[in-house]
Amino acid sequence: MTITPDDIERSARIRAITDNFFFWQGRRFVGLGFVMIFAAFAYLPGAYETARNILLLASIAVALLLSERIGRHYRSEFGRVQPIPGAHARRARLKWLLVYPAMIGSLVLDLVYPLPVLVSGPVWAGGICLYRLSTGGGRDHYLVLAAMLAALAFAPLLAGTTSKPAMPLLLLLLGTGYAVCAWLDDREMRAVLRGA
């Protein structure tokens, strides 16, 4: 039997997925997209604060419960995949020390110091690109979401407003895009693992 370049490429893709298996279990994360969508509507002016907080907390609880149940389904379907201990220590340090603080900081900046551009758009786009690269690559759908978020930076300028009123739009795009991307992660993972 001869090993072809396609065999080598597929083997590398399988390794990238299994090495980052938790992050490829897209159905687990679809609910988090809906949490961001609920947050977008809860943030709209005129929304009742108590009702929106209850809705947001309820959506987080439901998303976490569903994620755990779906995780059990993944384990029964694919078995347990153990990561190599310490293999992703650098990724963990970088995301907690640099990426997450930059993403949260951009949201705070947009909310506290309303600017004519939405800083969170390109910052979150960069975070999404780094997530894609650090969890096995592939998944070009994240590049589409990142491009849309980066372009959103100019929405306040074009609308003649500031970054703060544009926040629901950011959350809506982020939530919808994340839910779709998570679903597509699952499809791409299955296609690679099953050789489709």
| Residue-level pLDDT, tens digit, the chain, 196 residues | 677 777 778 888 888 888 889 999 999 999 999 999 988 887 776 667 777 778 888 989 999 999 999 999 999 998 887 777 777 788 888 989 999 999 999 999 999 988 999 999 999 999 999 999 999 899 999 999 999 999 999 999 999 999 999 999 999 999 999 999 999 999 999 999 887 4
2 token code pair = 């001869």
98 token code pair = 């640099």
102 token code pair = 């930059």
Kindly give the residue spans of alpha helices, DSSP state H, lying in the chain. Answer: 5-19, 21-24, 30-43, 49-78, 89-94, 100-112, 120-134, 141-151, 155-159, 167-193
> How much is the pTM?
0.88
HSE of 112, CA atoms in CB hemisphere, 13 A: 6
92 token code pair = 């963990």
Q: Which amino acid is at 94?
A: L
**What sign for the dihedral angle of Cα 13, 19, 23, 27?**
positive
